[in-house]
Structure 1
Amino acid sequence: MTVVGAVTRGRPTGFTAGGGAVGDGAAATGTPEADRRPATDQAIARQLGISLRTVGRRIQRVQNSLHAETRFQAGVAVGLARSGG
């Protein structure tokens, strides 16, 4: 799931494309290295054809649903949920 997918669907499914950990290599996840880098809000807005403010609101909604104050906290919550932790 990409950042765009998480923002589009409004649910916390991933904040970095592919969800791979830094340094785990493309072979470990099967996801190309470029797809695992965090996307900027500007890139997400451009890809979805929506405004930068809308992207920010949607990401904030995901953070709120996870009770996360920061995007990092939201990412950790998603990682824990994916790992069953």
Structure 2
Amino acid sequence: MKRSWITFESSKNDTHPFGVEDGAGATALSNERALSTIQEQLFDGDNLSTIGKILENVGVSKLDANHIRRDVGGPVSPGIWYPLGYQ
């Protein structure tokens, strides 16, 4: 299992679901599966916003301590661990 951190570009044409302005975190067998999970659960199956970066095998300790780390779910299990509420 790999922890992926995905950030999205901000533009007038892209709308983000609540809570993903800073990015989204998912654990899956591959980045492709992580993106698929994010698309299904965060974007309700709609197209993803324009992807900025994908960090593979990200250490949660590397993420922003004041905003992101305090709101991380269980990054060991498959599925979305940031933002909370989409598990």
Question: Of Structure 1 and Structure 2, which has the larger fraction of its residues in strand?
Answer: 2
Asked if Structure 1 and Structure 2 have the same fold, meaning a TM-score greater than 0.5 normalized by the shorter chain, the answer is no
Identify the structure with bigger relative contact order (alpha carbons < 8 Å, sequence gap 6+): 2
Which has the higher Rg, Structure 1 or Structure 2? Answer: 1
User: Which has more helix, going by share of residues?
Assistant: 1
